[in-house]
Structure 1
């Protein structure tokens, strides 16, 4: 007699499955290696010198070149997908993201998320879940943490709404909130090897930097990247999940592409240390050509030799429009893919 079907697979959590204060330990820890860097640089035109060259990083006071900051972000994020966003309708935003220490080849990363907010939507079909996610290394030290919120489907639309809890989040990190890697010293930075002569004092708040270059998104590349981060969201792989048969590009793929494109004009924004906010404004699909521009929001000194901080608004588009984000009603233009507010470290 054939065995009966058993429910041992993971269908993901629905809105009713979350409670404020709940802590979720995500599977599966992952050891990242030097091959991670090579594949990341094959997928994106990433060229920031401190992540590319041990010798350059050592001249800046680090023991070797750390892995690209977004490798750590995507790896930690990917762990959370089966538990947080497998049944999500949309990833709505980010806040209070801090890159606390560099990640090196050989580190093992794992993730935990704490539910810090819940709010059912007025339609009764979905709700918003806020989580604070922490990425830990093999020594149980936090390498990064961030808040994100997602719109998640309800399992039963007739179920009662939980009490509404909306977390109070900072609109932006202060420079004093940033964690600067131990030993980092840009006072002897080789600007020729870095790729550009521009340092912190060359940028002014309100300045717009058009990064000029564009990259057309390939279907195979985005799926390879998303598998690399072990992101299991069905919309990135399964063409039957959408009526149009298209696979949605993982938003992190757009973030990494835009950050890599920003090298042209911001080559010395060497390390990401803070994530203030972000929105995936419109969907991205294979065949779209991504371009990017940045707005300088503010600059600040730090207490480290030669190290300054620059706050940037990074915008990715498909239409090449520079300097314009929203229409008169406050809606993102259809050509805007990404609106990301972050802090980076730069030589003064």
Structure 2
């Protein structure tokens, strides 16, 4: 058999390292397509001249790095996934620039068979590297994966202990980054790190309706081959599930309205895809400031932000009910660190 049916839950072993296939060289086309697919307007990633004034040489949007590395892992981790469940301990280590080639490896750090015996949860720690073998991104994610053989014995349960928050002192500030000559007018908003308060909530106002063609193009762009995103016969309802990263990028782009000066992503504390998303859904977003710290670089601060994407008809600022479950319409609950002028 020369074709690859993908791994099933019983095929993983704690401690194994998976070297993912097909390196990806990123060029200007990926940047242009990203801005065509999402209403992304953060100035550092929109203008090489603006980036140069901030000491950077026109880096890719940090989520291009995330999607590219994530896509490398799909054939080995989530080809037979039922759902991608969450993220933790993510760090953007260094910027990625046009001409860089990214590869990825993943270590299996946890396994737990579900009580139904038909599936289980796989935890992996993934690292993306450039052509110089320098880490550009690492993160933990956990995925619910089908069993190929329901009679296969359950593995020993190993659930990793994960940090709730990436320690701010471990965040990487890109070499050369400076906001000394930052142009707030060109960036789009006057709001600095000092203007935000812990507990503040921001309604990002704008909305985007997800189109089938756009999410299909995006998922192909990142070489994400998960069957639930492409094959309509893979779900009983006959729908293709929207890639969760597509929702992340839409929500991040919408957050420009209120968080235009949060130019770079530095840490991924946690994330949950709270409900499935399908073509035709209209997405809105809001953020909550969870914490704020100064970095070791003068003029560069970090905001810890909760970014929530929800269907447009959902109640604004609604997250969870009294039962602790996500409110109807909530699609994404993402907790991250972003860098902003102080």
TM-score range, shorter chain: over 0.9
Which whole-Å CA distance do the structure 2 matches of 1:112 and 1:223 have between them? 25
- Residues 17-166 of structure 1 mapped to structure 2, 5 A cutoff: 17-62=11-56, 64-166=57-159
Structure 1 runs of 4+ aligned residues shifted over 6 Å read: none
**What is the CA-CA distance between 1:320 and the residue it aligns to?**
4.4
Please list every run of 5 or more consecutive structure 2 residues that lacks an aligned counterpart in the other structure.
none
| Contact 1:236–1:250 (8 Å) recurs in 2 | yes
Deviation at 1:334, TM superposition (A): 2.2
Do residues 280 (structure 1) and 288 (structure 2) align?
no
Instruction: Give 1:321 shift.
Output: 2.3
Residue 240 (structure 1) aligned with residue 233 (structure 2): yes
Partner of 1:4: none
User: Any stretches of 5+ residues in structure 1 without a counterpart?
Assistant: 1-6
Deviation at 1:73, TM superposition (A): 0.2
Q: Which range is displaced more, 99-108 or 229-238?
A: 229-238
Q: Name the TM-score, length of structure 2 as normaliser.
A: 0.98
TM-score (norm 1): 0.97
2:335 is the counterpart of 1:347: no
Alignment partner of 1:176 out of 130, 155, 169: 169
- Helix, strand or coil: the match of 2:68? helix
Greater shift after overlay, 325-334 or 97-106? 325-334
RMSD: 0.9
Aligned counterparts of 2:64 and 2:266: Cα–Cα separation in 1: 13
The 5-angstrom pairing of residues 245-260 of structure 1 reads: 245-260=238-253
| Alpha carbons 1:118, 1:166 under 8 Å: kept | yes
2:7 alignment counterpart: 13
Q: Distance in 1 between matches of 2:107 and 2:237?
A: 35
- 1:190-229 alignment, distance < 5 Å: 190-229=183-222
Q: Is the 8 A contact 2:314 2:328 kept in 1?
A: no
Question: How many residues of Structure 1 are paired with residues of Structure 2 in the alignment?
Answer: 341
Is the Cα contact below 8 Å between 1:126 and 1:152 reproduced in 2?
A: yes
